[in-house]
Amino acid sequence: MHGSFLSHRGGFWFWVALVLVLSSVLAYVWHEPLGQPNGGTWLGYTLGTVAALLIVWLTFFGVRKRAYYSRLGTVKGWLSAHVYLGGSLLVLGTLHSGFQFGLNIHTLAWLLMVLVIVSGFYGVWVYWRYPERITRNRDGMTRQLIFREVADIDRKASVIVEGLGSPADRMVISAIQLFSIGGGAWHQLTGRDRSRIMVAASKGSAKRWVQVANPTQQRLLDELTGLLSRSADPQEAALLQELIDLISRKAKLMRQLLADIRLQGLMEVWLYCHIPLTMALLATLMAHIVSVFFYW
């Protein structure tokens, strides 16, 4: 039934990768090249060729994932192979270098390869940890349901404030109008709420309205609880209390939504490193191969 890509077919690709890594290491230890180990020996060429072919094949995962008619295995099987064989590259590529590092295109290719693999490992980690966190945070709600409930709360709140008048009405309505969620990548990943609100500020004897931050409706709640504490009219107090209950619920939903956006963002953001780095790796790899043959 349900089974992770990591344990696909009893971890078949893990064993394939392990055999690949062990045999490369054994060959490296057994091999006695003339001079120091180098990419130019027969073993170096072999490891380099295998690694280069692997890199090209690994990038094909992006193609297979979108080839919905393909019957060449399942995407899950491909991802399993992608992860384990990709991981084995770390050893293969490094052995291919013979540990000769320097300030050159060859080491740049190796470095990019390492970065791609490390970002991939991070991806595996988030894919392992985050789905459950998202589920827990969602608590049976979907984003659509949350938005619907927020809209519902806004509607109810705007009816209630009609009976309250200033300044509650302006604050509540402005909080609805200046509500903001999501935004750019940074805001999504930090989970910051940029919602704002208009509140009355008194400067000396003059009163004027200013716009201030209202993260997760906290400022509005502060203002409303202030009004309630000063209220002497029981009818007004009842309405304020009802309003506070509604806004508290909205605040809870906002926190849930912000966390959801943040978690979802974190689960996806590594791909924005993994893929461009892969493209850079492919280009550098090409330069590495051409330059090696050119100077040979």
Partner 1 sequence: MENHFEVVIVGSGPAGLSAAGRAAELDLSHVLLESTSHLANTIQRYQKGKHVMAEPGFLPLRSSLPFDAGSREDILAAWQQNAETLSINVDWQADVVSISGQRGDFTLQTRAGKTIRAANVVLAIGLQGNPRKLGVPGEDQPFVQYQLDDPDEYQNESIMVVGAGDSAIENALALSRNNQVSLINRRDEFARAKEGNLKLLEDAIERGRIKVFFNSSLRQIETLTNGDHLAQVTLTTGEGEVQVPVDRIIARLGAIPPRDFVESCGINFPNDAVNAVPELTHQYESNVPGLYVIGALAGYPLIKQAMNQGYEVIEHILGHDIKPVDNDLLAEKFSGLPFDLDVEQTLELIQNNVLCFGPVNSLRFRELILESEMHTPAEGDVIFSRNDYTNSFYSVVEGSVEVVIDEATGKRVRIGEGHFFGEMGLISGRRRNATVYAGRHCVLVETPRRTMLRLLASADEVRRRIDQVFILRAIHSQFAPNSSLEDLSDLVNSAELRQYAPGEVLFAEGESGDELHLVRRGSLTVSRYLHGREVVLSYVPAGKYVGEMGLLGNTRRTASVRAVVPTETVVMKSGPFLALLDRDPQLKEQVQLQLQARLRANASMEASEEGGELLSFLMRQGLGEATDVLLIDESLCVRCDNCETACASTHGGTSRLNREAGPSYASIHVPTSCRHCEHPHCMKDCPPDAISRNASGEVVIADNCIGCGNCESNCPYGVIQMAQVGGSQPGLWSRVLFGAEHKKIKDKDAPKRAVKCDMCTSLKGGPACVRACPTGAAVRISPEQFIELVQEN
Site string for partner 1, 197-236 (x = CB under 8 A): ----------------------------------------
Q: Which residue has the tokens 């791609």?
A: 116
CB 289 within 8 A of CB 52: yes
Instruction: Indicate whether 182 belongs to the interface with partner 1 (CB under 8 A).
Output: no
Q: SS in 3 state form for 112-176?
A: HHHHHHHHHHHHHHHHHHHHHHHHHHHCCCCHHHHHHHHHHHHHHHHHHHHCCCCCHHHHHHHHH
Q: Which is nearer to partner 1, 105 or 280 (CB)?
A: 280
Instruction: Indicate whether 252 belongs to the interface with partner 1 (CB under 8 A).
Output: no
**Which residue of 104, 135, 180, 211 would you call a contact of partner 1, by CB under 8 A?**
135
Scanning 149-157, 207-215, 223-231, 248-256 for contacts with partner 1 by CB under 8 A, the matching segment is 149-157
Instruction: Indicate whether 155 belongs to the interface with partner 1 (CB under 8 A).
Output: yes
CB 242 within 8 A of CB 160: yes
| Minimum distance from residue 239 beta carbon to partner 1 (Å) | 14
Cβ partners under 8 Å of residue 157, min gap 6: 172, 176, 243, 246, 247
Q: Which is nearer to partner 1, 105 or 282 (CB)?
A: 282
Q: Residue 41's closest CA among 29, 32, 33?
A: 33
**Which residue of 16, 18, 54, 75 would you call a contact of partner 1, by CB under 8 A?**
75
Instruction: Indicate whether 146 belongs to the interface with partner 1 (CB under 8 A).
Output: no
Sign of the CA dihedral running 63, 67, 68, 74: negative
Give bridge partners of residue 203 from the DSSP assignment: 206
Instruction: Indicate whether 276 belongs to the interface with partner 1 (CB under 8 A).
Output: no
**Which residue of 23, 49, 100, 142 would you call a contact of partner 1, by CB under 8 A?**
142
In single-letter form, the type of residue at position 249 comes to: R
| Minimum distance from residue 171 beta carbon to partner 1 (Å) | 20
**Distance between CA atoms of 83 and 79, rounded to whole angstroms?**
6
- Residue 210, judged by CB atoms within 10 A of its CB (0-12, 13-18, 19+), counts as exposed
Q: Which is nearer to partner 1, 31 or 133 (CB)?
A: 133
Binding interface with partner 1 (CB under 8 A): 1-5, 8, 62-63, 65-69, 71, 74-76, 78-79, 127, 130-132, 134-135, 140, 142-144, 152, 155-156, 159, 264, 267
